[in-house]
Structures are given as C-alpha cells and as structure tokens.
C-alpha cells in the first residue's frame, strides 16, 4: 500500500522567537496551529531569572490563554544553580545560551562571556 497522505493534527514547534507587546500577540496567533511551542523570548531584556520568566509567561498567556508555552530561561554570568533548580520546578525545560550580541535586540546585552 502506497502512502498518499500524512496528517499531523497539531505539530510541535521547537523554536519560536516570541517578542513583546503587539508582536507577541501576532506571533502567538500565528503559532495557534501548534500543540506546544518552545518560547524563545526575543525581548529587550533577557528572560534570565525566574521572576522575568514568570512575567513573560503571564504576558504570553494574556495574549492567548489557550497557548501552551514551553518556557526557556537565558543562561548568564549571574545564573546560579539555585535559579536553575527553581526554574525547573516551575516548568522551565530549556536553558538558552547565546554569544553576546548574537540575537535581535542583542547588541548591548551580555549573556555569558568566556
């Protein structure tokens, strides 16, 4: 039997660069076709602490309460093991590491330096 059709009811987006404010609303709307979305916050300030991640998750859910984000947190020179443990307990599944100025909005940010 030849396979002529393949249906994925709700795919999983493993890398969505969400933004803030109006762009967040637009991008969350575009991602409504996915079951889950790994949310890479491309924001003015790195989402690098539990407090910042909680605020960003709240902003995402305000934009679309049905949206199911898989949150990330940025690894920086100031990230502690305790911060990572707390993030994991809160549902953060991915730690993001970017070289300095490697992202949109990244020209003045510092993540991790060698």
- The model's pLDDT over 51-99, given as tens digits with 9 standing for 90+, comes to 988 988 888 888 888 777 888 888 888 889 999 999 999 889 888 886 6
Does a structural domain hold residue 3? Answer: no
Q: How many domains does the chain have?
A: 1
User: Which whole-number Å values give the CA distances from 14 to 1, 72, 87, 93, 114, in the listed order?
Assistant: 32, 11, 19, 12, 28
Does a structural domain hold residue 106? Answer: no
Does a structural domain hold residue 92? Answer: yes
Rounded CA separation 48/30 (Å): 25
More confident residue, 22 or 110: 22
Does a structural domain hold residue 2? Answer: no
pLDDT in tens, 11-30: 777 777 777 777 777 777 76
**Domain span at 20:** 12-96
Contacts 24+ apart (CB under 8 A), 75-80: 75/48, 75/111, 75/112, 76/46, 76/48, 76/110, 76/111, 76/112, 77/110, 77/111, 77/112, 77/113, 78/48, 79/48
Does a structural domain hold residue 103? Answer: no
- Quick one: pLDDT at residue 65? 81
Among residues 77, 22, 21, which one has the least CA distance to residue 48? 77
Does a structural domain hold residue 104? Answer: no
């Amino acid at each position: 039997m030849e396979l002529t059709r393949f249906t994925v009811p709700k795919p999983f987006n493993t890398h969505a660069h969400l933004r803030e404010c109006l762009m967040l609303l637009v991008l969350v709307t575009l991602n409504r076709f996915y079951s889950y979305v790994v949310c890479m916050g491309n924001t003015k300030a790195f989402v690098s602490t539990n407090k910042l991640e909680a605020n960003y998750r709240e902003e995402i859910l305000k934009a679309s309460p049905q949206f199911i984000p898989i949150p990330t947190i940025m690894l920086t020179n100031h990230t502690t093991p305790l911060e990572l443990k707390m993030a994991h307990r809160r549902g953060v599944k991915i730690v993001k590491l970017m070289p300095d100025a490697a992202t949109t909005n990244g020209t003045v940010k510092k993540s991790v330096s060698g």
